[in-house]
Structure 1
Amino acid sequence: MTPLRPFRIIVAVVLSAAALAACGSPDPGPTTTPSSAEVRSPTGLRWHTFQGVELPIADQGPDRIDGAVAAGFDRNQAGAGLAAIHASVRMSVATDPQWPRVGQQMLAPGPGRDAWATARAQISITDPIADGPPKILGYRITGYTDTAADVQVYAAYPDNSATCQTIRVLWHAGNWRLHVPINPTTAPVTAVTAPPIDLIPLTPR
């Protein structure tokens, strides 16, 4: 598998498989669009490398990392944004021995997660991204309650392209977990020409 493909392709495979799930609970209800006064950037920003990708760590989380699993995100918008980044990257680039724990501890339980596990078992990732990993630029919170958050994560690639990944995280068992939708209606990752002006920026070292 060539560099960058795990990060871009596995998410598409995940949601394609989830769409085939025959039954299950409906997706969580709508969230509330936060006002600009409610948006707070993470504080104490620093960086941790996982599988070749630089991931942000801040005062709002994660407060513990155990191998491939990150946990301990604050129950606020900054914590939700950081959790969305960690969960989406870790589920995409975790190696074959790592991904079962990522799925069990960083994804919300349900038929979407089950479909993801089935799809992930068909793909082999054995090495970190060694050449040209994506760079996380920042995120936007497009909807928020204390039980669910809608997050757009922006990333740049060495070929000067950029993407936006739409993610929902749910508060479950004391942590934010990524929700894999049963019936996705839009592509989870789309190309963008530039990040939005209201991006909460994260500057890698």
Structure 2
Amino acid sequence: MTCLVHFRTNTRLAVCAALAITLTVLSCSHDDDDGAPAAQPDLDLRTLPSGLRWIAFNNMQLPVARQGPAADKGAVVSGFEQSPVGAALAAIHATVRMSVALDSQWPAVTAAMLAPGPGRDEWAVLRTQISITETPSGEMPRIAGYRVERYTPETTEVSIYTRQTDSSLTRNATTVAWQSGDWKLLIAYQPPVSAVTAIETMPAEAVALTPA
């Protein structure tokens, strides 16, 4: 995997370890990028977020729009619209926040933004084995866009595209589920492969996000 750079040594290693755990436990079954998104009648999966702006969480820039999040409690955000855009924004926030959350933050992120189940429990056990006590500094990866692969009001598959600090591009396969009035990130239990793959370019169907 491409690791975050320019941190103090201990912080960099800890964040890299957290990212490695995250990218492994998020693995889900998706079609290859060359395939077109599954057709959804009367629903445009390429609708752009409206009122897009960016906020920082532990030095990572995250997109915010009218489709969510509506509430910001620091480490935890909530209030995502039950729509393709809302699902995509929820997937981005949950994935990034669980990856770079400090020791004092990750339990709240896990409880509020990840779907209950053995995958979440496994993630929590793995996360206790590392320590991140300082906000990382320096250049960070940037969320470049997303593609909604499949959408239903109950479960949505989202590919997240990230521009790494070495200018390479990666795709992260995620799934969110609508639970208790909001989207929650589903965590695979003992996934066989990593959810992240290196790609050359974002597909034409992807929604590109303007840099902050």
Give the TM-score band, short-chain normalised.
Answer: 0.7 to 0.9
Identity among equivalent positions (%) equals: 42
Aligned length: 195
Alpha-carbon shift at residue 14 of structure 1 (Å) = 4.3
What amino acid is aligned across from residue 60 of structure 1 in structure 2?
Answer: Q
Instruction: Please state if 1:38 is matched with 2:44.
Output: yes
Instruction: Please state if 1:58 is matched with 2:27.
Output: no
Alpha-carbon shift at residue 94 of structure 1 (Å) = 0.4
SS of equivalent to 2:48: coil
Given the superposition, is the C-alpha separation of residues 18 and 182 from structure 1 closer, same or farther in structure 2, using an over 3 Å criterion?
Answer: farther
TM-score (norm 1): 0.86
Alpha-carbon shift at residue 9 of structure 1 (Å) = 4.2
SS of equivalent to 1:90: helix
Unaligned runs of 5+ in 1: 20-26
Alpha-carbon shift at residue 193 of structure 1 (Å) = 1.5
Alpha-carbon shift at residue 5 of structure 1 (Å) = 6.8
Which position in structure 2 is the counterpart of 1:166? 173
What amino acid is aligned across from residue 89 of structure 1 in structure 2?
Answer: V
Given the superposition, is the C-alpha separation of residues 195 and 15 from structure 1 closer, same or farther in structure 2, using an over 3 Å criterion?
Answer: closer
What amino acid is aligned across from residue 165 of structure 1 in structure 2?
Answer: N
CA distance in 1, matches of 2:125, 2:77: 22
Given the superposition, is the C-alpha separation of residues 17 and 48 from structure 1 closer, same or farther in structure 2, using an over 3 Å criterion?
Answer: closer
CA distance in 1, matches of 2:204, 2:167: 18
Instruction: Please state if 1:153 is matched with 2:153.
Output: no
Which position in structure 2 is the counterpart of 1:23? none
User: Aligned ranges for residues 31-180 of structure 1 at < 5 Å?
Assistant: 33-35=38-40, 38-39=44-45, 40-180=47-187
CA distance in 1, matches of 2:19, 2:84: 23
Query: Is the Cα–Cα contact under 8 Å of residues 14 and 120 in structure 1 kept in the other structure?
Result: no
1:10 to 14, 18, 26: 18
Query: Is the Cα–Cα contact under 8 Å of residues 114 and 187 in structure 2 kept in the other structure?
Result: yes
CA distance in 1, matches of 2:184, 2:51: 22
Given the superposition, is the C-alpha separation of residues 202 and 4 from structure 1 closer, same or farther in structure 2, using an over 3 Å criterion?
Answer: farther
Query: Is the Cα–Cα contact under 8 Å of residues 12 and 188 in structure 1 kept in the other structure?
Result: no
What amino acid is aligned across from residue 147 of structure 2 in structure 1?
Answer: R
Alpha-carbon shift at residue 3 of structure 1 (Å) = 4.1
1:200 to 182, 207, 210: 207
Q: What is the RMSD computed on CA atoms of the aligned residues?
A: 2.5
Unaligned runs of 5+ in 2: 1-9, 30-36
CA distance in 1, matches of 2:173, 2:208: 16
Alpha-carbon shift at residue 101 of structure 1 (Å) = 0.3
SS of equivalent to 2:173: strand
